[in-house]
């Protein structure tokens, strides 16, 4: 498991750089496997403490088990949980039937923007990975967003050795990506190695021949056919799979992701 420890060392280094250099720092937690691994890495980096708030952008369409799991871990691990919601869009009846990209933009991108604006965070830690989709493959570990939260992927700052972008003009913020070099398989290898509590009743087959490979909102995330009942079986399945991880995520279709991410999506 040497390669997993190497990934862990790198991510811990990035988290500590973020904590040292950003006064108003927060971490996004969606309760999915990636951001939960990220949260675990923070506990590693800070010796059992999580010295910044965890943000959950609640679309109100999440699978109920996810909320129960969130509140339980927040209690057990003494997390400073901050939940944000685009209440205005919800009041106006936003849902996926009005268009998946429109719904994601309103409830997730806008929801996040509202939360960032309200709290004035200058550094936001996210669990995105390069192998999730082609635009994330081009991300930096420390990636600037302008005043409108937009990502200028045409002009990204150089990233040399372990020297990251930690200075930026007022009004802008930095997205920090400690998991960029992890693959989906690495995430499961680490969950197994560290015995991290995850949403097993969603990520594992409960006897129905189905499990979720990636978690999002209930209406737009579908389970895959799978009989994997434990982490070892998940790993075997993934090593033999040729299907993209986010195949069950509707907003990724066409050019959806490039536009979403340019506008400030995770």
Instruction: Point out which residues bind another protein (CB under 8 A).
Output: 1-3, 5-10, 12-13, 16-17, 19-20, 43-49, 51, 130-131, 133-135, 137-138, 140, 153-154, 156-163, 165, 167-169, 180-181, 183, 189, 194, 235-236, 239-240, 242-244, 247, 255, 258
- C-alpha pair distances (Å), 230 with each of 173, 184, 198, 206, 225: 39, 15, 11, 10, 15
C-alpha 12/C-alpha 18 separation (Å) is 10
Task: Mention every residue, 6+ apart, whose C-beta is less than 8 A from residue 101.
Answer: 251, 256, 259, 260
CB of 40 to another protein, least distance (A): 8
Residue 115 or 182 having the CB closest to another protein: 182
Work out how close the CB of 84 gets to another protein at its nearest, in angstroms, rounded to a whole number: 26
Residues in Cβ contact with 25 at an 8 Å cutoff, skipping those fewer than 6 apart = 18, 19, 52, 121, 122, 123, 124, 125
Q: Which is nearer to another protein, 47 or 91 (CB)?
A: 47
- Whose tokens are 């009846």? That residue is 93
- Closest distance of CB 242 from another protein, Å: 4
User: Helix %, strand %, coil % for the chain, to 5?
Assistant: 45, 10, 45
**Smallest separation (angstroms) from another protein to the CB of 189:** 7
Whichever of 180 and 199 has its CB closer to another protein, that residue is 180
Smallest distance from the beta carbon of 125 to another protein, in angstroms? 16
Q: Which is nearer to another protein, 51 or 120 (CB)?
A: 51
Q: How far apart are CA 133 and CA 43, in angstroms?
A: 27
């Amino acid at each position: 498991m040497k390669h997993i420890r190497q990934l862990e060392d790198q991510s811990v280094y990035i988290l500590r750089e973020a904590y040292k250099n950003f006064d108003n720092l927060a971490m996004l937690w969606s309760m999915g496997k990636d951001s939960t691994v990220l949260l675990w890495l923070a506990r590693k980096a800070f010796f059992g403490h999580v010295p910044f708030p965890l943000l959950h952008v609640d679309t109100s369409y999440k699978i109920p088990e996810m909320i129960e799991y969130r509140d339980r871990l927040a209690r057990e691990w003494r997390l400073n949980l901050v939940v944000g919601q685009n209440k205005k869009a919800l009041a106006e009846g936003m849902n996926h039937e009005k268009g998946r990209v429109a719904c994601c933009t309103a409830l997730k991108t806008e929801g996040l923007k509202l939360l960032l604006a309200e709290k004035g965070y200058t550094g936001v830690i996210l669990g995105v990975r390069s192998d999730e989709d082609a635009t994330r493959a081009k991300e930096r570990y420390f990636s600037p967003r302008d005043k409108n939260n937009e990502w200028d992927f045409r002009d990204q700052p150089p990233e040399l050795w372990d020297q990251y972008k930690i200075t930026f003009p007022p009004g802008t913020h930095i997205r920090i990506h400690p998991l960029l070099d992890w693959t989906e398989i690495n995430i499961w290898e680490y969950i197994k190695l560290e015995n991290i509590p995850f949403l097993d009743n969603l990520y594992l087959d409960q006897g129905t021949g189905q499990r979720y490979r990636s978690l999002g909102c209930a209406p737009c995330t579908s389970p895959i056919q799978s009989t994997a009942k434990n982490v070892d079986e998940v790993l075997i399945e993934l090593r033999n799979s040729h299907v993209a991880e986010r195949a069950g995520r509707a907003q990724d279709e066409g050019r959806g992701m490039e536009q979403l991410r340019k506008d400030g999506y995770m």
